[in-house]
Structure 1
Amino acid sequence: MKNPYRYSFDNKRYQTMNYYLKSKYNCKIAKVPLNAHFTCPNRDGTKSIGGCTFCSSKGSGDSVLGFNENVMEQYEIGLSRMKRKWPDCKGFAYFQSYSNTYAPFSVLKDLYDPFFEKEDVFGICIATRADCIDDEFLEYLDKKSVLKETWIELGLQSIHEDTMDLCNRCHNTKIVYDIIQKIKKTHIKCCVHIMNSLPYESKEKMIETAEWVAHSNCDAIKIHMLHLIQGTQMANDYLKNPFPLLSKEEYIDIVVSQLEILPESMIIERLTGDGIASDLIAPDWTIKKTIVLNDIDKEMVKRNTWQGKYYKKNL
């Protein structure tokens, strides 16, 4: 078993993104969320309309400042705000909203080239869907990643096809796995998003999803709690026919169990989400993000556990 206090300057029993970045760059790195004005194939009618049923009208980009501004202006606005909190921080451009590879290659190249060339951009993170990445773009990004650290973030949410059919993801889990293996043959890093408390999923199913990620060969994971956001299809369905949602205590128990089976080398980018309080229908406890994170830390101490404690390399 590894030392549970390895990530000591963060005072955590898991490897945070802050730990990874600060160890690498010796300074604070701030991710600046951006909206590049894309859409998704299950929003525009190519595969479906309406998007994933849990996704807000802003395509999960609710934290983007200057949402409708030019994307470079968004970066400047966002980085300026970050510097008010961390004056010496460096910025990563985080293309967060919608599917940021869902366009012809020429459009993508024109979008990303200036950010690879911009001096005050230290890295680039691109959130997208696994079914919106082709070999031409991966080859381009692989070459560019030599200049700056480059990440692709993939929305998996759950490995269980019945759950994701209900969520209208419109592609299967194998597509996600196959893209991760392609990414791992490049210099690009890969982060996978999962979501706890999706409709009718048991604790066992949520653990199975984390175990899949543990052995997927990705570099990082984001763990979210389901937020029911006003105006989304899932929130509308919930108001008509409520389904069980995890309590704070249940969520913390599951997250700690998921951390225990993830490899120690995997970066933990997020352990809960950021729902806008005015738009949140349920669960109310998610608004107090700091309390949730602190309680996860306390539970890990109580259990005398840490990330990777029960990770099995070969299943």
Structure 2
Amino acid sequence: NNLSFVPSYCSASDSVAVQLEKGRRFFGRKYPEMRYLAYFQAHTNTYAPLPVLQRLYEEALGVEGVDGLVIGTRPDCVSDELLDYLASLARYSHIMMEYGVESVDDGQLRFLNRGHTFAEACSAIQRTAERGIFTTAHLILGLPGDTIPSMLSQPSLLSGLPLDVLKLHQLQIVRNTPLALLYDKQPPMFSSLFHTPEAYASLLCEYLRRLRPDMAVARFTAQSPPEMLVAPMWGMKNYEFVDLLKRKLREAGARQGDLYVGRP
């Protein structure tokens, strides 16, 4: 449900420039000197003919205060022609591709009805990075069928890819989605759901230890609006969770990459 993360000031009926101007006004009161990246987040932001995409991206880059683009998309919806165009933009603007990888397990991807494989994600990441474009992968932890060993097998696979940034978050059951209906009918399927922030932080502590140390982690959690969330109900802000994770790392004497096995 895209409504669980799309900002309130964004409307598909507005132009890209108008949406960005609304966002600037929203944040400008608190951060008057801030510069911005235009985040094409919801849905598949490469699913259009190249001339249409060029118009949208260049409209965003033309807004005062915007220094670059972050483009969220699927790994099976990126052509070499588009990547060549984005590489040309990257010569003078910050361009980052954010791929919804979601899982390294093809069985999980079929369960999620993603319509792509992990191999396709690896190909998209490789083709993007080799053009000098910043590359991000987004994954969800705690999917039905996930186990602690299966989740802790992810870092070594991801570390072998030319990723600059990783975004992680816990599975959230959001109202008015097929997953919410399944959760209501078959709750035992969701035994891997992280019902407490402490359990998730413990998993992440071990996950980070196995991750390549030079890979930035830009997100650890998601925070859907309470009125849209079915489970898990943590009642915790994102910054509070980061503090919890830092504390667990300190208590364990651990850091990102200290158990990483691979090339330095």
Task: Place the TM-score, normalised by the shorter chain, in its bin.
Answer: over 0.9
Task: Work out whether residues 2 and 43 of structure 2, in 8 Å CA contact, stay in contact via their aligned partners in 1.
Answer: no
Deviation at 1:57, TM superposition (A): 4.5
Matched residue type, 1:210:
P
Secondary structure, aligned partner of 2:153? helix
Task: Work out whether residues 248 and 285 of structure 1, in 8 Å CA contact, stay in contact via their aligned partners in 2.
Answer: yes
> Structure 1 pair 61/105, CA: closer, same or farther in 2 (3 Å)?
farther
Where in structure 1 are there 5+ consecutive unaligned residues? Answer: 1-55
Which residue matches 2:11? 67
Q: Give distance in 2, aligned partners of 1:117 and 1:274.
A: 31
Are 2:227 and 1:278 equivalent residues in the alignment?
A: yes
Which residue matches 1:304? 253
What is the aligned counterpart of 2:29 among 84, 87, 91? 84
Q: Give distance in 2, aligned partners of 1:301 and 1:85.
A: 32
Are 2:196 and 1:251 equivalent residues in the alignment?
A: no
Are 2:78 and 1:133 equivalent residues in the alignment?
A: yes
Are 2:69 and 1:124 equivalent residues in the alignment?
A: yes
Q: Give distance in 2, aligned partners of 1:183 and 1:133.
A: 9
> Structure 1 pair 64/97, CA: closer, same or farther in 2 (3 Å)?
farther
Considering only aligned residues, what root-mean-square deviation do their CA atoms show, in Å?
Answer: 1.6
What is the aligned counterpart of 1:207 among 152, 156, 159? 152
Q: Write the deviation string for residues 137-190 of structure 1: whole angstroms up to 9, x where unpaired.
A: 000000011111100000111111111111111110000001111111112100
Deviation at 1:210, TM superposition (A): 2.6
Deviation at 1:67, TM superposition (A): 2.3
What is the aligned counterpart of 1:292 among 241, 246, 253? 241
Deviation at 1:289, TM superposition (A): 2.4
Deviation at 1:86, TM superposition (A): 1.9
Q: Give distance in 2, aligned partners of 1:280 and 1:222.
A: 20
Deviation at 1:209, TM superposition (A): 2.0
Task: Work out whether residues 221 and 269 of structure 1, in 8 Å CA contact, stay in contact via their aligned partners in 2.
Answer: yes
Which residue matches 1:51? none
Where in structure 2 are there 5+ consecutive unaligned residues? Answer: none
Q: Give distance in 1, aligned partners of 2:182 and 2:23.
A: 34
Aligned pairs, number: 259
Secondary structure, aligned partner of 2:136? strand
Q: Give distance in 2, aligned partners of 1:192 and 1:249.
A: 24
Secondary structure, aligned partner of 1:153? strand
Q: Give distance in 2, aligned partners of 1:84 and 1:175.
A: 42
Q: Give distance in 1, aligned partners of 2:93 and 2:258.
A: 33
> Structure 1 pair 110/61, CA: closer, same or farther in 2 (3 Å)?
farther
Q: Give distance in 1, aligned partners of 2:262 and 2:102.
A: 22
Q: Write the deviation string for residues 91-150 of structure 1: whole angstroms up to 9, x where unpaired.
A: 110000000001111111111122233441112100000111001100000001111110
> Structure 1 pair 287/102, CA: closer, same or farther in 2 (3 Å)?
farther
Deviation at 1:265, TM superposition (A): 1.4
Which residue matches 1:52? none
Matched residue type, 2:231:
A
Task: Work out whether residues 126 and 153 of structure 1, in 8 Å CA contact, stay in contact via their aligned partners in 2.
Answer: yes
Task: Work out whether residues 211 and 258 of structure 1, in 8 Å CA contact, stay in contact via their aligned partners in 2.
Answer: no
